[in-house]
Amino acid sequence: MLFNSATYLFLFLPVVFILYHVSRLRARQWIILAASLTFYGFWRIEFIPLMLLSAVVDYGLALKLDQTRDQKTRKRLLYVSLIVNLGILGFFKYLVFFRDSLWSIAEMAGYTPSYVDLNIILPLGISFYIFQTMSYTIDVYRREKKAESDLLVYMCFVTFFPQLVAGPILRASEIIPQLKTKLLLRSENVVSGIQRILGGLFMKVVLADSIAGLVDKGFERPVNMLSAFDSWTLAFLFGFQIYFDFAGYSAIAIGSALLFGFKIRENFNYPYAATSPRDFWRRWHISLSSWIQEYIYLPMIGAYRSKNENTPNRPLGDEQKAVIGRRRTWGLFLTWAIMGLWHGANWTFVLWGLYLAAIVYGYRLLSPRISLPKGPFGWCLSVGLTLPLMMASWIAFRAPSVGDTLIMWGHMINPMRFTGFGLSPNTYISAMVLTIAFFLRYFWVHSQASVWTKTNIAGVPLQVGYHAIVISFVFIFLQVKSQFIYFQF
Amino acid sequence: MTRFRDGLVLIAGALAAYALLMIAQSRFAIKTDELAFGTETANVLGTVDGLIAHCIGAKDSPDCENAYSESGKPPSILWVGNSQLPAINRFEIGQENAPQILFRQLQGRNRYLITYSQPNANLSEHAVVINSVMPIYQPDLVILPVVFDDIREQGVREIVQDFTKRADLLSHVKASKSWPFIKNNLSGQTGAPGGGTAILGLEKDTLQKKTERAFTGFLGMHWSLWAARPKLRGTLSSAKHILRNKILGIHSYTKRRVNPQIYKERMALLEQIIMDIQVSGAQILLYIPPYRDDIDGPYVATEYDRFKSDFRALAAKTDSEFLDMERIVPGVQWATVTDTIFGFKEPDFMHFTEQGHIAMAQALDAKLKDMGY
Indicate which of B189, B200, B202 best probes the interface with A, i.e. most A CBs within 10 Å of its own CB.
B200
CA distance A38 to B208: 10
Mean pLDDT across B271-279: 95
CA distance A170 to A164: 10
CA distance B86 to B83: 6
- What is the per-residue pLDDT for B164? 85
User: What are the Cα distances from residue A52, in Å, to A57, A130, A159, B259?
Assistant: 8, 11, 9, 55
Distance from CA of B24 to the nearest CA of A (A): 10
CA distance A243 to A479: 19
CA distance B211 to B209: 6
In the predicted structure, residue A485 carries a pLDDT above the cut 70: no
Beta strands of chain B (E only): which ranges?
Answer: 41-43, 54-55, 76-81, 87-89, 112-117, 141-145, 283-288, 321-324, 334-338, 345-353
What number of C-beta contacts closer than 8 Å exist between A and B?
173
Does residue A7 belong to the interface with chain B, where contact is any CB pair within 8 Å? yes
In single-letter form, the type of residue at position B49 comes to D
CA distance A251 to A265: 10
pLDDT-derived band at A6 (thresholds 50, 70, 90) equals very high
Residue B287 — φ and ψ, nearest 5°?
Answer: -145, 150
Does residue A330 belong to the interface with chain B, where contact is any CB pair within 8 Å? no
Residue ranges of domains in chain B: 36-187+216-370
User: Which pLDDT tens digit goes with each residue over A52-106?
Assistant: 988 899 999 999 998 888 888 999 999 999 999 889 888 888 887 788 788 878 8
Which residues lie below 8 Å from residue B335, measured CB to CB, with a gap of 6+?
Answer: B37, B38, B40, B41, B87, B89, B90, B347, B348, B350, B351, B352, B353
What is the pLDDT of chain B when averaged over all its residues?
Answer: 85
**Would strands B141-145 and B76-81 be described as parallel, antiparallel, or unpaired?**
parallel
- What is the per-residue pLDDT for A243? 94
- What is the per-residue pLDDT for B36? 59
- What is the per-residue pLDDT for B202? 41
Query: Which of chain A's residues have a Cβ under 8 Å away from the Cβ of B208?
Result: 1-2, 5, 7, 42-43, 480
Q: Nearest residue of B to residue A471 by CA position?
A: B17
Greater confidence (A215 vs A425) lies with: A215
User: What are the Cα distances from residue A54, in Å, to A40, A66, A135, B96?
Assistant: 15, 18, 13, 66
pLDDT-derived band at A381 (thresholds 50, 70, 90) equals very high
Q: How many percent of chain B have pLDDT more than 70?
A: 90
Residues 232 through 271 of chain A touching chain B, CB cutoff 8 Å = 238, 241-242, 245
- What is the per-residue pLDDT for A90? 85
Query: Which of chain A's residues have a Cβ under 8 Å away from the Cβ of B213?
Result: none
- Regarding the domain with residue range B36-187+216-370, which homologous superfamily does it belong to in the CATH classification? SGNH hydrolase (3.40.50.1110)
Q: Which of A239-253, A394-408, B20-34, B136-150 has the lowest mean pLDDT?
A: B20-34
Ramachandran category for residue B138: left, alpha or beta (phi over 0 → left; psi -120 to 50 → alpha): left
In the predicted structure, residue B345 carries a pLDDT above the cut 50: yes
Residue B193, SS3 per DSSP: coil
Query: Which of chain B's residues have a Cβ under 8 Å away from the Cβ of A188?
Result: 2-3, 6
Mean pLDDT across A444-461: 85
Residue A398 to residue B200, Cβ atoms within 8 A: no
Residue ranges of domains in chain A: 6-105+117-182, 189-488
What is the pLDDT of chain A when averaged over all its residues?
Answer: 86
E strand or H helix at A103, and its extent? helix A95-108
- What is the per-residue pLDDT for B193? 39
Does residue B207 belong to the interface with chain A, where contact is any CB pair within 8 Å? yes
Residue A49 · residue A42 · CB < 8 Å? no
User: Which pLDDT tens digit goes with each residue over A114-158?
Assistant: 766 667 777 777 888 888 888 899 989 988 888 899 999 999 999
- What is the per-residue pLDDT for A26? 92
Highest-pLDDT range among A301-310, B293-302, B343-352 = B293-302
In the predicted structure, residue B165 carries a pLDDT above the cut 50: yes
In single-letter form, the type of residue at position B107 comes to Q
Does residue A117 belong to the interface with chain B, where contact is any CB pair within 8 Å? no
Among residues A282, A292, A284, A199, the alpha carbon closest in space to that of A243 is found at A284
Indicate which of B202, B248, B255, B256 best probes the interface with A, i.e. most A CBs within 10 Å of its own CB.
B202
User: Which pLDDT tens digit goes with each residue over B191-235?
Assistant: 343 333 333 344 456 788 888 888 988 998 999 999 888 888 888
pLDDT-derived band at A308 (thresholds 50, 70, 90) equals very low
Query: Which of chain B's residues have a Cβ under 8 Å away from the Cβ of A127?
Result: none
Query: Which of chain B's residues have a Cβ under 8 Å away from the Cβ of A488?
Result: 193-194, 198, 200
In single-letter form, the type of residue at position B153 comes to E
- What is the per-residue pLDDT for B200? 38
Query: Which of chain A's residues have a Cβ under 8 Å away from the Cβ of B154?
Result: 217, 220-221
Beta-bridged to residue B287, according to DSSP, are B145, B323
- What is the per-residue pLDDT for B34? 56
Alpha-helix residue ranges (DSSP H) falling in B249-353: 260-279, 301-317
Distance from CA of A91 to the nearest CA of B (A): 16
Distance from CA of B35 to the nearest CA of A (A): 17
Does residue B14 belong to the interface with chain A, where contact is any CB pair within 8 Å? yes
In single-letter form, the type of residue at position A455 comes to T
- What is the per-residue pLDDT for A422? 78
Which residues lie below 8 Å from residue A263, measured CB to CB, with a gap of 6+?
Answer: A178, A257
Q: Which of A208-222, A259-273, B58-72, B154-168 has the lowest mean pLDDT?
A: B154-168
